[in-house]
């Protein structure tokens, strides 16, 4: 049985908006992953402060980097978005547990929304799976 999906059209402006949002997300998360992998002092202190052991910081950075690479590759971008959502959900959980400021809690939530918004605006496959109607 073959199913047909209707591709929901989107303007060039929307596609470019998605690309720009995606680039900004990738740049920020690339910086975040690299600072964890090289164990930058400020990152280590902040990560330990919210409850993670220091010997796990590199693994967290590598997990973020792998998820980010999958997000950037068009064929695996949806899987990458799912993994990034899990990563950001863990960040929300850690911040709730550590009772950090509201900004620290809202930041990964906003990024999670932007990960999916950027992908939705630029990926016809995702728009066909989740057709939002006005």
Mean pLDDT in residue range 94-120: 92
Q: What pLDDT is stored for residue 58 in this prediction?
A: 96
Domain ranges (residues) in the chain = 12-123
How far is residue 19's CA from residue 24's CA, in Å, rounded to a whole number? 9
Q: Among all chains, which residue has been given the structure tokens 């999670």?
A: 112
What is the per-residue pLDDT across 39-83, written as a single tens digit (0 to 9) for each? 999 999 999 988 899 999 999 999 999 999 999 999 999 999 999
Are the beta carbons of 61 and 36 closer than 8 angstroms? yes
- pTM of the shown model: 0.86
CA distances from 112 to 6, 39, 54, 79, 90 (A): 26, 24, 25, 14, 11
Structure-block tokens of residue 75: 């064929």
How far is residue 112's CA from residue 119's CA, in Å, rounded to a whole number? 11
Burial 43-61 (b: 16+ CB within 10 A, else e): bbeebeeeebeeeebeebb
């Amino acid at each position: 049985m073959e199913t047909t999906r209707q591709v929901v059209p989107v303007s060039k402006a929307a596609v470019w908006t998605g690309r720009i949002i995606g680039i900004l997300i990738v740049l920020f998360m690339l910086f975040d992953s690299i600072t964890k992998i090289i164990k930058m002092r400020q990152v280590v202190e902040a990560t330990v402060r919210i409850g993670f052991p220091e010997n796990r910081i590199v693994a967290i950075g590598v997990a973020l980097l792998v998820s980010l690479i999958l997000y950037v590759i068009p064929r695996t971008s949806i899987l990458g978005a799912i993994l990034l959502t899990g990563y950001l959900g863990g960040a929300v959980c850690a911040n709730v547990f550590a009772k950090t400021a509201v900004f620290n809690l809202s930041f990964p939530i906003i990024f999670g929304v932007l990960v999916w918004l950027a992908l939705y605006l630029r990926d016809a496959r995702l728009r066909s799976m989740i057709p939002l109607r006005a």
